[in-house]
Amino acid sequence: MTAKEEAQRLVDESLPYAEELLTKYSEFFPFGRVIEVGGAVGHHAGYPGGEQPPSSEVIDVLQKAWRQMAADGSIRATALTYDIRTIPPGRSEKQDAVCIAIDHRDSYSVQVIFPYRIVDGVPDIEPPFAVEGSYSIFGTPA
C-alpha cells in the first residue's frame, strides 16, 4: 500500500470511533491508531494522569510514545484523532471538527478535517478537507 492508501485506512479506522464517542458524549479525548511494521492496526490512548487531563497533555503522551516507536522502527504510520474548532473553507465562522492527523514514515503528513454539528444528539459529519500535516512523528521530508 502507498502512504496515501495507508492514511485512508487509518481515517477509515478512526472516524467511526470518533463519531461513536460524539454520539455518546458529544465530545471525546484524543486517541490514536498506528500501523505497525507488519501491517496490523494498533489502537492507542494516552494518559498523562489526573481525572480530566487537558487534551494537549494526552496528545503529548501519544506523540512522545510514537516518536520512540518510529525511532525503533516498529511503526510505519500514525493517526492522532482529536476535536478542534476551525473555520472550514468557504465559511466565516468557527465550528467543531474532528481532526485526524496522519504521519507516515514515507514523508507523508496530512490533517484530514471533518467539520460537524450535533443535531438532536447525533453528529452530522460534513465532507472533509485536508491540509498539510506537521511531520511531527517521523520528521520532515527530505
**pLDDT at residue 141 greater than cutoff 80:** no
List 72's β-bridge partners, or say none: none
Query: For the segment 46-76, what is each residue's pLDDT rounded down to a tens digit?
Result: 877 778 888 999 999 999 999 999 999 999 9
Write down the pLDDT at residue 142. 56
C-alpha cell at 127: 465532507
| Full DSSP string of 30-87 | -EEEEEETTS-EEEE----SSSS--HHHHHHHHHHHHHHHHHHT-EEEEEEEEEEEE-
Mean pLDDT (whole number) for 6-33:
96
